[in-house]
Structures are given as C-alpha cells and as structure tokens.
Amino acid sequence: MKKRILIITTGGTLASAKGKDGLAPELDSNEIFSGMEGIISYYEVEFLELLSLDSSNMQPEEWRQIAKAVYERAGNYAGMVIIHGTDTMAYTASALSYMLKNVPIPVVLTGSQLSILNPIADAAENCRCAVNMAGSGVPGVFIAFNRKVMLGCRASKVRTISFDAFESINYPYVGIVNSNGLDISSYALKQPEGDFLLQDKLCAQVFLLKLIPGTNPDIFEVLYQMGYRGIVIEAFGIGGLHFHRRNLAEAIRAVIKKGMTVVVGSQCLYDGSNLSVYQTGQVILKAGALQAHDMTCEAAVTKLMWVLGQTESKREIEGMFLKNLAGEVSLPHHGVRKYR
C-alpha cells in the first residue's frame, strides 16, 4: 500500500509565473506537479492549496494558518510537504517547530530559486527530495533544498541566487541525497517526547536589532514605547556590546525592569554566543538578558515570539526560552549560568 502524502502549497518562487510586474505566485498544484509524475508515483499524493503568497508576505498570522492545517490533517497522512518561498522559509520552519509540539510525522518545507516553469529550475529536484523525506517516517519539521535535508529550526538562507541557498547552522544535516538515495542521519534527529499538541499562540511584538558601533541606547526605550514585548539583539562576536560613552547595558537593564524580554546572540552565523567570557557580556547577563547561544537568528526570533505567546510570567519565559524545545539550541553541558 502506498503511503499517503499531503502537499500543501503556499506560493513562493516555485509556484510563480511572470506577469507585467514581475514574478508572482500564480500556479496551482496541478500546474506545479504536472511534469513530476515520477516524483509522486511512489506515493498516494493529495494537495491542499492553502495560500498563494510571495514569502515576503508570510507573517505570524500565516504561520498559525499553516500550523493549524498540519495539525488538523496529520493523522491522515504519513508525511507532508509544504511548498514555500525561500526568503522567509527558515522563519516559517522555525515557527512550526515550536507550534507543532511533538509532531509525529515528517513535515518538510521546500521551494526553489527558479520557477517550476523555467527549464533549468531547481524546483523538481527540491520537490523530489522533500517528497522522499515526507515518506521517510522520520518525525519533525525540516527544510529540503539542493539535495540536503536540514532541521527546520537550524536552517538559514545564506545565498540569494545560488541553488545552494540554505545551510544548516551549527548542526549536522539530517539527510543527504547521494547514490544510496536519501541517506538520513538518525543522530541528528530529536525524537518526540509526548503528545502531539498545537501550541500556536504567538506574540508578534518582537524586534530584531543588529548592533553597529555607536548604536544609540535610546532605541530600547523607543521600542518599549512602541509596544514591543521582546528584543533579539545580534551583538558583536560572542555577545559583546558597547557600554562606554553610549551605555547599551544600562538601557537594556532599564527596559528589562519594565518587563521587556531581551535576548542576546551573535552577528556571526557560526559557533554562537557566550556572554560569560567578556566583561561586556557579563554586564548584560547581570542586567537580566537571556542568551541565544548557537541558535539561528530565525530560530531565536520565532522562539521568543512563541514563548511570549504562551505566558507573561518572567520566570516561565526564562525557563521556556532557555530550554531546547525542538533541537534549535545546544546548551552548555554545565547548564546556564545565571546572575541573580
């Protein structure tokens, strides 16, 4: 008996056609897969045309819509593929990783750098990889791209035009397509640890701030006044920021006292933050900031949105954020150093 696979279309470049104003998502599932019988012939495939958006327009409201669609149908399928634009795919994959707690089937996002209508497109190859991962029986949220499968909350788009657009940051690939087929690395997987739950409440009032030398500390009070509940800071190196002349640490301390949650990570893609090493990092830890460690920017931002959507308790926010929920973070073996 063939496994049942659901393919959910949401738009993106893969489903785009050229119009008078440029590429826009216009193709339905029949048009997308009309030339890919070989990819889907091994499975009983069904389609759900959920959205038709350029992924630049994919926002928390759409993440919730996708999560609900997956949750309501997961019991009927062996796996799912989500066709999605590449620009915000890593954000959606990370958000789904938190909202779909203990998802029991593979949920695989994919897209392409060129429309399926382009004869040299990467679309068919990416779909082939995604469908095979969806039929693997391996539970979790993943991104399949350029013959690689990545944990959804570890992937980041690192190239704008190359077919090798996505990379797994600080984490091994879950799978690679080679002459053996889809070669899956079981050690890179995080197994479900309880019931499958939809926890889709999100707080969109989260801001991402990339520091530059000379950043004005007043920005934190401005963001607080605008109603933001959380900030993710991409700091220098392993978590440094300036407090001489322009005292960012004092400004951070002030908004934390007012109830804002501040997360500090690194501008560097690889290795992650360690705020305990330098004086500049220890200053903000003492102020009550949380660490992103080796999370991707996308994983840290969506995790903070998700955590703030679950609770308003400062203690619970800290406890949830500093926990590895879906494989998104490697925590120090000695535990998280706290300054209280």
Catalytic residues: 13
Rounded Cα distance between 199 and 56, Å, is 24
* Amino acid sitting at position 229: R
Which of 60, 193, 84 has the alpha carbon at shortest distance from 142?
Answer: 84
**How many degrees, rounded to 5, is the angle at CA 135 between CA 9 and CA 123?**
45
**Helices 297-310 & 314-321 angle (0-180, nearest 10):** 150
**How many degrees, rounded to 5, is the angle at CA 292 between CA 224 and CA 112?**
100
How many CB atoms sit inside 10 A of residue 333's CB? Answer: 5
Q: Counting runs of H as helices and runs of E as strands, what totals does the chain give? A: 10, 18
Q: Which letter does DSSP use for residue 194 in this model?
A: S
Rounded Cα distance between 329 and 226, Å, is 30
